[in-house]
Structure 1
Amino acid sequence: MPEVIFTGPAGRLEGRYQAPKKKGAPIAIILHPHPQFGGTMNNQIVYNLFYTFANRGFAALRFNFRGVGRSQGAFDHGSGELSDAASALDWVQSVNPEAKACWIAGVSFGSWIGMQLLMRRPEIEGFISIAAMANRYDFTFLAPCPSSGLFVHGSEDRVAPAREVMPVIEKVKVQKGVIIEHQMVEGANHFFDGKVDELTQTVDAYLDKRLGPAKAA
């Protein structure tokens, strides 16, 4: 899993990249939680999502937003981070020019950024959104949501309580053929402390349904 440095709008961005074994493999970008609250690409959920996609043969990238780790720049309240995510996708596409499809996965703040990128890049055909803070960030831009995907929350999330978040997500408009699924991990808090394995199993089950078993990918 080589370390990579690529150019972002505010300077270099630091990432970890797993190259696919086959040409034309799909791309997966994983976005970390809020930079001002300890979010980095080494977050346990981000780390597990990275390998979930890499083990399925994806060209997988996780990276630090501007101002985190060795990434240059400073926190920009979402606007700059969205530009960082777009640059990350551009970079992976540049080294995988045969790739036709892309998935985006985000955790908490990273989910909000990822869903905005989804609206801007038609090649993104699926998403995984973990602990989306739809109670704190506006998700009404998903009108309609252009791709099918999965939202996952913890039943004991106090940062983005499911009772507040689920009605917001359920109001997201979808276009024909797009299906948005919701899953709950019982007993999990916003950070899925002690529940990351259950979260990973939930994501794996969804990807099996969409893409087929990992061993067949």
Structure 2
Amino acid sequence: MSTTSIAFKSKGSLLEGVITTPHNISGPYPAIIACHSHPSFKGHMGEDVISAICRVAGDAGFATMRFNFRGTGGSAGIHDKGKSEKNDVKSALDVIRRWPGIDKNRIAIAGYSFGASVIMDGAKMLRKANKFALIAPPPKAATESHLSKDNRPLLIIAGEKDSLSPPDRLRKIFSGYKTPPSLKIIEGANFSLQGDEAEVGNTVVNFLQD
């Protein structure tokens, strides 16, 4: 893999990120953008779930992009409770679409918890993405999401014992979506998905390859 550290602007703030591309495979490559969990609870682009998604996707021939939301790590700006963060994801999508070798018709976006919430709230801004994967999506955000009327393929991953994003509640909410998503419940896992990161990554990549 070829790894490049990048900086890009989003609504006046300079954000940091990392893009990886396959070096033994000729393009164009499908790509995935991975969005981290809540920065107030130590979420960042290097957290285990995000790293696992990018690692497995990279091994499968995908280009990957991860970045720190505004006010996180080396990214400038102030955390905005998801409001301005929608622009961060849109800006990341613009960056990866311009990156050499990327298949612009096969760009997916994944998000973990807060990252999933930002994706759901900003779905209308992300028209150029073709698939979404949401890991431990907050139920309230899922209830109010623009994705409820969207036709694009959607994957939901939750831990069997997750008390913040209970599988039964998610199943009920997402069953009302125009295009019901694929749902993966990870046996024995809680919200942190500690020890199950590889399964998360494999599930996401299998979904993207279908």
TM-score (norm 2): 0.88
CA root-mean-square deviation: 2.0
The 8 Å contact of residues 57 and 205 in structure 2, kept in 1 or not, is answered as no
The 8 Å contact of residues 112 and 139 in structure 1, kept in 2 or not, is answered as no
Say whether 1:192 aligns with 2:193. Answer: yes
Partner residue of 1:85 out of 83, 89, 96? 89
Higher strand share: 2
**CA 129–64 in structure 1, closer or farther in 2 if over 3 Å, else same:** same
> Residues 169-190 of structure 1: CA distance to partner in whole angstroms, max 9, x if unpaired?
111122xxxx521110011001
How far 1:204 sits from its partner (Å)? 3.8
How far 1:43 sits from its partner (Å)? 0.9
Partner residue of 2:137 out of 127, 132, 135? 132
Give, in whole Å, the separation in 2 of the partners of 1:94 and 1:202. Answer: 27
The 8 Å contact of residues 120 and 145 in structure 2, kept in 1 or not, is answered as no
> Residues 126-166 of structure 1: CA distance to partner in whole angstroms, max 9, x if unpaired?
11111011245643422412311210100100112222222
Corresponding residue number in structure 1 for 2:176: 171
Q: Percent of aligned pairs with the same residue?
A: 29
For this pair of structures, how many residues does the alignment match?
Answer: 205
Corresponding residue number in structure 1 for 2:70: 66
Moved more, 113-122 or 184-193: 113-122
Gaps of 5+ in 2: none
1:198 is matched by which residue type in structure 2? Answer: E
Corresponding residue number in structure 2 for 1:37: 41
Corresponding residue number in structure 2 for 1:119: 124
**CA 39–98 in structure 1, closer or farther in 2 if over 3 Å, else same:** closer
Moved more, 77-86 or 94-103: 94-103
Corresponding residue number in structure 1 for 2:152: 147
Give, in whole Å, the separation in 2 of the partners of 1:53 and 1:194. Answer: 18
Corresponding residue number in structure 2 for 1:99: 103
How far 1:168 sits from its partner (Å)? 1.0
How far 1:99 sits from its partner (Å)? 2.7
The 8 Å contact of residues 29 and 101 in structure 2, kept in 1 or not, is answered as no
> Residues 16-54 of structure 1: CA distance to partner in whole angstroms, max 9, x if unpaired?
110344332222110000111111001100001112222
SS in 1 for 2:149: coil
How far 1:77 sits from its partner (Å)? 1.1
Corresponding residue number in structure 1 for 2:55: 51
Corresponding residue number in structure 2 for 1:12: 14
Q: Which runs of 4+ in 1 moved over 4 A?
A: none
The 8 Å contact of residues 104 and 118 in structure 1, kept in 2 or not, is answered as no
**CA 141–148 in structure 1, closer or farther in 2 if over 3 Å, else same:** same
The 8 Å contact of residues 103 and 127 in structure 1, kept in 2 or not, is answered as yes
Give, in whole Å, the separation in 1 of the partners of 2:70 and 2:33. Answer: 16
Partner residue of 1:25 out of 22, 26, 29? 29
